[in-house]
Amino acid sequence: MNPTSFMSFRPLWQARWRALSGREQTLLLSALALVLGAALWWLALAPALTVLRTVDSQRTALDAQWQQMQSLQAQASSLQAQARLAPEEERRLLEASLKPLGAGSVLKVDGERATINLRAVPAQALALWLTQVRQNVRRTPVEAHLVRNAAGSWDGTVVLSLAPGVR
């Protein structure tokens, strides 16, 4: 609709408005005010009030997330500050860490990957071993295929990426 066609309707609307009684004009203006007020509420005020109601819980969640990120940053900094292990030392520590897992745990080193086959390892021992590998050997699993057996212990394989030169 171009401005000239709108202007041609203007005299018709003005004539129609003047033909309405005072009571009808008041009712139409009241209805228009009600519609504009409702639109203002739904488009501007209600979303703002919703944000105000949820801001405290969002701030608490963001603070917790920030604290966790700070903790992870401190942990990463401490790990980076540690001296690198010699490849022989890394392998020796990895072999020593397997003893608490039992005789069913076998280490196989292939290049820069260490595959650990696990058989009937209790969950607590597995969790402790993963923590020890991360802290002492400074390695984390790059791949894990674990299955819980009928006895409630774990079977499967865990693959670690080793430093170059570990044999």
Query: What are 58's two structure tokens?
Result: 């969002």
Amino acid at residue number 17: W
Q: Clarify whether residues 70 and 13 are in a common domain.
A: yes
Q: Is 56 inside any structural domain?
A: yes
- Cα pseudo-dihedral 83, 86, 92, 96, rounded to 10: 10
Q: Clarify whether residues 91 and 76 are in a common domain.
A: no
- Looking at the whole model, is its pTM more than 0.95? no
Confidence of residue 163 (pLDDT cuts 50, 70, 90): confident
d(CA 151, CA 94): 26
Q: Clarify whether residues 29 and 95 are in a common domain.
A: no
DSSP SS3 for 115: strand
Q: Clarify whether residues 58 and 126 are in a common domain.
A: no
- Confidence at residue 81, expressed as pLDDT on a 0 to 100 scale: 82
The mean predicted confidence, pLDDT, of the chain is: 88
Q: Is 166 inside any structural domain?
A: no
Q: Is 123 inside any structural domain?
A: yes
Q: Clarify whether residues 66 and 110 are in a common domain.
A: no
Tell me how many domains the chain contains.
Answer: 2
State which residues form the domain around 59: 3-80
Is the confidence at residue 115, as pLDDT, over 70? yes
Confidence of residue 157 (pLDDT cuts 50, 70, 90): very high
Q: Clarify whether residues 38 and 95 are in a common domain.
A: no
Confidence of residue 26 (pLDDT cuts 50, 70, 90): very high
Q: Clarify whether residues 9 and 31 are in a common domain.
A: yes
Is the confidence at residue 147, as pLDDT, over 60? yes
pLDDT in tens, 33-88: 999 999 999 998 999 899 999 999 999 999 999 999 999 999 889 877 877 778 78
Q: Clarify whether residues 91 and 156 are in a common domain.
A: yes
